[in-house]
A and B are shown apart, each in its own frame.
Chain A
Amino acid sequence: MLSHLVERLARFMAILGGLVLTGLIALTCVSVLGRGLNTLGHSGFLTSLSESGAKALIATGVGPVQGDFELLEAGISFTIFAFLPICQLRRGHATVDVFSTGFPHWLNRFLETFWEVLLSALILLITWRLFVGMHDKMRYEETTFILQFPVWWAFAFSFGAALVASVVAVYCAVARTIELVTGRRLKSDAEGEVH
């Protein structure tokens, strides 16, 4: 049951991150379009074609989205953190398996578990340090450049996603360890989910 719950959680985060990514893509396109129209309105080409048309275009206030870079940066960090759980749960991290095919079975199982635990520990460490980093940003009252929203807001969103990644990481480490000790399979390994 627990394994299904964790799988769903990881999936949910991946989809949420994907939706944020989609939103950022849309934002960027709107900004590019706005900037393009703004340039067109100021261009000699349109002005010579129709002075009033050019003026009207500019008068609509069309232009790039203010602070698009900042929004993109804040959003994409959340996205990447949200993508971490599914990658760990489905063992998406890049490894080199060329030599291990010659290892005895027990060694491979041990190594798998060992790295899984270490990876989970690293994700916990990252989450903790991210929290400390967020605290720094709060304390020093840093803001972004153009929109001037507090930088810690962006950290907080990322921290939220990192917390979920930590939960999934702990589950992976514990499940793997129990498997190693008992020899039973707990994690579904997302079988049947292979695309």
Chain B
Amino acid sequence: MSLLELGYLSFPVLLVLIFLRAPIGLAMMICGLGGLWLATGTPNIFMSKLKSETYSTFSSYSLTIIPMFLLMGQFATHSGMSSSLFKAAESWLGHRKGGVAMAAVGACAGFGAICGSSLATAATMSRVALPELRRYGYSGGFSTATLAAGGTLGILIPPSVILVIYAILTEQNIAKLFLAAFVPGLLAAIGYMITISIYVRLYPAAAGTREPVPYAERMRAMLEVWPVLLVFGLVVGGIYLGWFTPTEGAAVGAAGTGVLALLSGNLTWKMFIDSMIQTAMSTAMIFFIILGAGFYNGFLALSQLPQELSGWVVGQGFSPWMVLTLVLLFYLAFGCLMDSLSMILLTIPIFFPVISALDFGMSPEHVAIWFGIIVLIVVEVGLITPPVGMNLFIINAMDRSTPMKETYKAVLWFVTSDIVRVIILVLFPSITLFLLGG
């Protein structure tokens, strides 16, 4: 069997392993090892690489950003910022039709500005907002769906772990990707709020109402959220203005959030330990997948599959827009089954050369950034599409009284809003790129 054939064959094999519940990083390692072994007749290449590649992957300066952003999210969770964000948003929006749900989305957007992960945002905001939503008579399915969708803002609004990984895989500038993600992230929040207001008009029974809050109290609640603005401004602003590298920005953010959490009095020793353990679990999970993807992608490169595939696509003379549409549909379909990080690590080395080889009438850098933001959105949709949606699972675990089926039903409205946004961003690249000056 030729190397190229092995390359193509490895993909279904990998999927079978994954669907047989193999840990994703392990499955990629097995395919990388098996592929290299079959291709060269010995396991030597794999063994030789393994001598130093685990260390070099785990010691990567740019990947250091990941545990730092995760720890920052943990500190933010324990700092009380989540509840002050929700209170502030609720004081302004709560009395409207569906207002408490809108407030939850707004608070998720605010929290997303200091947290790099969707799951952490969904879990943290659910802890604060879920009881309130239920108290004001919001239906179980609508409440959980709102928070699951809101959680995706954790990744869509910078800083974002997925964007960091995309930037490293495609050798793009992290600061520019963060900047480009900003407007689409805001559009996501606005889209979710519009979805909520449509939903509560169609299903008035799904949401209760609440008395307006006096303006003085609203202003007071706004003043409480300054730490969030401070940290966001320092981290994202500092990275963009060049006060520090993205990794240094993550360190500054983690330290700043930790100090704020300490000052708030909420960060006890026990919570500190808890933050460490949670960060350890997520970090190890992510790095193990990155490690596996490194070996699998090394094998794919050796098989020349990405070059062959992109050469074939270009040779067919397909319209660039059609190829892009197919790639995005692929992500949407796979997002129903897989988590976003694994999908990015698995597919970007294959799809990115394909997309880069096509002419969209933009500079290569702009195509890379624009494609990155759109892919970010479609893989994040995967977090809330049934049946496998990590955000849905997390929130469902926190609200056992709501059957999963009801969450599934209500969340489709938010998925629709996501798809509409993707279409808009694909048709108008300048929405993503105008902040970059293009």
Contact = CB atoms under 8 A, between A and B. Distances in A.
A and B directly contacting (CB within 8 A): yes
Interface of A: 11, 14-15, 17-19, 21-22, 24-26, 28-29, 31-32, 36, 69, 72-74, 76-77, 79-84, 86-88, 90, 92-100, 108, 111-112, 115, 118-119, 122, 125-126, 129-130, 132-133, 136, 154-155, 158, 195
Interface in B278-303: 278-285, 287-289
A17 B21 contact: no
B270 to A, nearest CB: 11
Given A69-B61, A73-B60, A96-B337, A90 B281 contact: yes
Given A14-B276, A29-B252, A111 B281 contact: no
Contacts of A26: 255
Nearest to B279: A18
Interface stretch (B48-56, B103-111, B186-194): B48-56
Interface stretch (B22-30, B160-168, B170-178, B314-322): B22-30
B159 to A, nearest CB: 15
B61 A83 contact: no
A70 B240 CA distance: 24
A99 B19 contact: yes
B71 A119 contact: no
Contacts of A28: 247-248, 251-252
Contacts, number: 178
A32 B243 contact: yes
A147 to B, nearest CB: 14
A118 B26 contact: yes
Interface in B41-85: 47, 50-52, 54-55, 58-61, 63-64, 67-68, 71
User: 10 smallest A-B Cβ distances: which pairs?
Assistant: A18-B276, A87-B284, A133-B51, A28-B251, A77-B59, A93-B23, A14-B280, A83-B280, A129-B50, A83-B284
Interface string B6-45: 0000000000001111111110011000000000000000
Interface string B252-293: 101100100000000000000111111111111101110000
Nearest to A69: B61
A86 B281 contact: yes
Interface of B: 18-26, 29-30, 47, 50-52, 54-55, 58-61, 63-64, 67-68, 71, 243-244, 247-248, 251-252, 254-255, 258, 273-285, 287-289, 337-339, 341-342, 387-388
A100 B18 CA distance: 10
A96 B255 contact: no
Contacts of B276: 14-15, 17-19, 21
A32 B248 contact: yes
- A interface: dominant SS: helix
A94 B285 contact: yes
Contacts of B339: 94, 96
A117 B338 CA distance: 23
A72 B244 CA distance: 15
15 contacts: A14-B280, A17-B276, A18-B275, A26-B255, A32-B252, A76-B59, A77-B59, A83-B284, A94-B25, A94-B341, A99-B20, A100-B21, A129-B47, A130-B51, A158-B58
Interface core residue of A17, A28, A73, A133 (most chain B CB under 10 Å): A28
A175 to B, nearest CB: 17
A180 B256 CA distance: 47
Nearest to A35: B244
A28 B253 CA distance: 11
Given A80-B287, A96-B19, A125 B50 contact: yes
B337 A98 contact: yes
A132 B258 CA distance: 38
Nearest to A81: B58
B54 A93 contact: no
Given A77-B59, A96-B388, A130-B51, A32 B285 contact: no
A136 B23 CA distance: 30
A80 B21 contact: no
A112 B21 contact: yes
A96 B283 contact: no
A36 B388 CA distance: 46
A40 B228 CA distance: 27
Contacts of A15: 273, 276-277
Contacts of B284: 80, 83-84, 86-88, 92-93
B279 to A, nearest CB: 6
Nearest to A129: B50
A87 B55 contact: no
Given A25-B255, A76-B64, A79-B67, A115 B281 contact: no
B59 A21 contact: no
B388 A98 contact: yes
B238 to A, nearest CB: 9
A67 to B, nearest CB: 12
Nearest to B282: A92
A36 B60 CA distance: 24
A180 B50 CA distance: 31
Contacts of B26: 93, 115, 118-119, 122
A21 B300 CA distance: 33
A126 B54 contact: yes
Interface core residue of A29, A80, A81, A125 (most chain B CB under 10 Å): A80
B171 to A, nearest CB: 19
